[in-house]
C-alpha cells in the first residue's frame, strides 16, 4: 500500500515539476549583434548593451580595441555588424573600400584630450611644454602612426611645435587604455588620453586639459558594416546607440554627444 502511494505521489508531482520548469525565466537569445568599437567606449557601451539586452531578445557582443586594429579586422573579413570608430579616418578607409552600408554612417560623439601623470609621486608636468623637458623620460601614447588617440595627440603637439622633442620619448601602445595603464603602473611618466578615460582611473591625475577649440577635432562615427551577419538586428541596435537613452549614458561617462541637427 505504501508503494502504491509513493507511485501515485510521483505521478501527481511529475506534471507540477514540469509546469514549474516551464515557468522559469529562461533567456532565449534572438540575434547576436557584433559591435567593433573603440577601446575608449568600453564602459559606456557595456552599460548601453546591458540595458538593451534587458529590453530586447538580442545579445550584443562587443569587440573593443584600437579603431585601427578593428578596421583591419573588418577589412580581413571578420564578422562585424557595427563599427564604432574613435576617428573619421578609419571609417573613411572602410567606406572607400565599400565596407560600410551607405546611409547608416553618422558622427555620434566627441571628446577632449588631457595630459595625465601618476596620482601619487607623478612626474613634474603642468603643461604640454613640460613633456619636452629632460625630467620627463617616457610618454605613453597610442601608436601615433595609426591609433586615433595617438594621431590626435601627435597632431596637437605638432601644432605647438613640440612633437620633435617629444617623439623620442614616446612609448607606443596598442590603444588608449594601454597608454593609461602604463602611467598607472609607473611604466611611463605621462600620457595624453581622452578625458573620459582619465575619469575612470583613480591612479592617474589630470594635470592639463586641452581646450576643445585648441585641440584636434575629435569625432566618433558609427555605421553598419557591409555584409553584416545580422543586418536587421544591427539596424535596431544602431538606432539604440543614436537614441536619447544612449546619449544619457554617454554623457554620464563624459562624452560630448553630437546632435547632427544642432551640433555638439
As a whole number of angstroms, the distance between CA 139 and CA 166 comes to 8
C-alpha cell at 214: 585648441
* Helix, strand, or coil (residue 82): strand
- Name the more confident of 261 and 39: 39
Please give the average per-residue pLDDT across 42-65, as a whole number.
96
Nearest to 164 by CA among 154, 173, 150: 154
Indicate whether 44 pLDDT > 90: yes
**Which pLDDT belongs to residue 6?**
47
As a whole number of angstroms, the distance between CA 31 and CA 34 comes to 10
Q: Report pTM.
A: 0.86
- Mean pLDDT of the residues in the chain: 91
Please give the average per-residue pLDDT across 228-234, as a whole number.
97
Show the domains of the chain with their CATH numbers: 32-110+218-257 (3.40.190.10), 113-209 (3.40.190.10)
Kindly provide the b/e burial profile for residues 26-47, where b requires at least 16 CB atoms within 10 angstroms of the residue's own CB.
eeeeebebbbbbbbbbbbbbee
What phi and psi, each to the nearest 5 degrees, are found at residue 106? -155, 145
Kindly provide the b/e burial profile for residues 148-183, where b requires at least 16 CB atoms within 10 angstroms of the residue's own CB.
bbbbbbbebbeeeebbeebeebbbebbbbbbbbbbb
pLDDT tier, 264 (very low <50, low <70, confident <90, very high otherwise): low
Instruction: List residues bridging with 118 in a β-sheet.
Output: 204
**Which pLDDT belongs to residue 21?**
45
Q: What does the angle CA 247 – CA 249 – CA 252 come to, to the nearest 5 degrees? A: 110
Give tens-digit pLDDT for 186-222: 999 999 999 999 999 999 999 999 999 999 999 999 9
Q: What DSSP element (H or E) covers 141? A: strand 139-142
Instruction: List residues bridging with 224 in a β-sheet.
Output: 82
Indicate whether 82 pLDDT > 70: yes
Indicate whether 133 pLDDT > 90: yes
Amino acid at each position: 500500500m505504501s508503494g502504491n502511494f509513493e507511485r501515485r505521489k510521483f505521478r501527481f508531482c511529475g506534471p507540477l515539476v514540469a509546469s514549474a520548469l516551464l515557468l522559469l525565466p529562461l533567456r532565449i537569445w534572438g540575434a547576436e549583434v557584433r559591435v567593433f568599437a573603440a577601446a575608449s567606449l568600453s564602459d559606456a557601451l557595456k552599460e548601453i548593451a546591458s540595458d538593451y539586452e534587458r529590453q530586447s531578445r538580442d545579445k550584443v557582443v562587443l569587440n573593443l580595441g584600437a579603431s585601427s586594429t578593428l578596421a583591419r579586422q573588418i577589412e580581413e573579413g571578420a564578422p562585424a555588424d557595427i563599427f564604432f570608430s574613435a576617428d573619421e579616418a578609419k571609417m573613411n578607409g572602410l567606406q572607400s573600400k565599400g565596407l560600410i552600408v551607405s546611409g547608416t554612417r553618422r558622427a555620434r560623439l566627441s571628446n577632449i584630450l588631457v595630459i595625465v601623470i601618476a596620482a601619487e609621486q607623478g612626474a613634474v608636468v603642468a603643461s604640454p611644454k613640460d613633456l619636452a623637458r629632460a625630467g620627463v623620460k617616457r610618454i605613453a601614447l597610442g601608436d601615433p602612426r595609426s591609433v586615433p588617440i595617438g594621431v590626435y595627440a601627435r597632431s596637437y603637439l605638432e601644432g605647438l611645435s613640440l612633437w620633435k622633442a617629444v617623439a623620442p620619448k614616446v612609448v607606443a601602445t596598442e590603444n588608449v587604455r594601454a597608454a593609461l595603464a602604463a602611467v598607472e603602473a609607473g611604466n611611463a611618466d605621462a600620457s595624453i588620453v581622452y578625458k573620459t578615460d582619465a575619469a575612470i582611473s583613480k591612479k592617474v591625475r589630470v594635470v592639463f586639459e586641452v581646450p576643445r577649440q585648441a585641440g584636434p577635432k575629435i569625432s566618433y562615427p558609427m555605421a553598419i558594416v557591409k555584409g553584416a551577419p545580422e543586418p536587421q538586428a544591427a539596424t535596431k541596435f544602431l538606432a539604440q546607440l543614436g537614441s536619447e537613452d544612449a546619449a544619457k549614458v554617454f554623457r554620464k561617462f563624459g562624452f560630448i554627444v553630437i546632435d547632427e541637427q544642432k551640433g555638439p
